[in-house]
Amino acid sequence: MTTEEATDTRGRILRAAAGLLEREGRDAVSTRAVSAAAGVQAPTLYRLFGDMNGLLDAVAAYGFEQYLRDKRAMGETDDPVADLRRGWDLHVEFGLSRPAFYVLMYGNGRAGGSAAGHDAAAILHRLLGRVAAAGRLTMSVERAARLTHATAVGVVLTLIAAPEAERDRSLSELARDSLLRTLVTDAVPAADAGVAPLVGRAVALREALHTDAGDAGSLTAAERALLEQWLDRLAGRP
């Protein structure tokens, strides 16, 4: 089998497995069913993916790629908080519209295992980084990303587990708005803001150092590392 043929066959197997997953659920994605749907023999599947876990990892990555297309198409506005809100809504909508994919992507420890998964995490970091750069984030970008990810995934998996007729979509809005109240101050830090002025400025400066490394060229590596450590402490990062 040539490289081109292997690529074509791999794509056909992925599409077949993804179709079975969406139509019939995870239990339908068996070696026999995928091989029959893709028109290949089982040894071909094993040669290209190693085993069923390898195939499922590839299907999860395939789902992430589709998710990322929607994320990238979302674009950005001048309001980073509004963009963060839209990013949450898109994430939830993807999970509820493609539940079998979502559970495979996020319910089995596969979220960080692919390049597409890392790209999805990077998009979240960028959204939060823009909020931090505006002086409106109440904690470090890294901590905010972990909290956002944990909250969003928990909400979507909870909604997916509920019978569709009993699914309370307002739970997503409540969780989103509660999260935003925790993460974001309504204005650039001031004495009466919901976040201490020093915390907001430390988070903003920490993000600026991360995104504009060239502007800190007058600092030695040791000085930069020490400054980042101080800013992390002021921002409340453990």
pLDDT at 162 over 70: yes
The whole-number pLDDT of residue 211 equals 62
Cβ neighbours of residue 120 under 8 Å, at least 6 residues apart? 64, 67, 68, 71, 111
55-70: b or e for each residue (b if 16 or more CB lie within 10 Å)? bbbbbbbbbbeebbee
The whole-number pLDDT of residue 198 equals 67
DSSP assignment letter at 28: G
pLDDT at 190 over 90: no
Q: Report pTM.
A: 0.72
Give ∠ CA 75-95-114 in degrees, rounded to 5: 75
Of residues 115 and 167, the one with the higher pLDDT is 167
Phi-psi domain of 236 (left: phi exceeds 0; alpha: psi -120 through 50; beta: other): left
Q: Give per-residue pLDDT as tens, 36-62.
A: 999 999 999 999 998 888 888 888 888
The answer to whether the CB of 80 falls within 8 A of the CB of 132 is no
Q: What mean pLDDT is predicted for residues 25-36?
A: 90
DSSP assignment letter at 25: -
Of residues 204 and 92, the one with the higher pLDDT is 92
Cβ neighbours of residue 192 under 8 Å, at least 6 residues apart? none
* Distance of alpha carbon 74 from the chain centroid: 14
Q: Give per-residue pLDDT as tens, 215-230.
A: 556 778 787 778 877 7
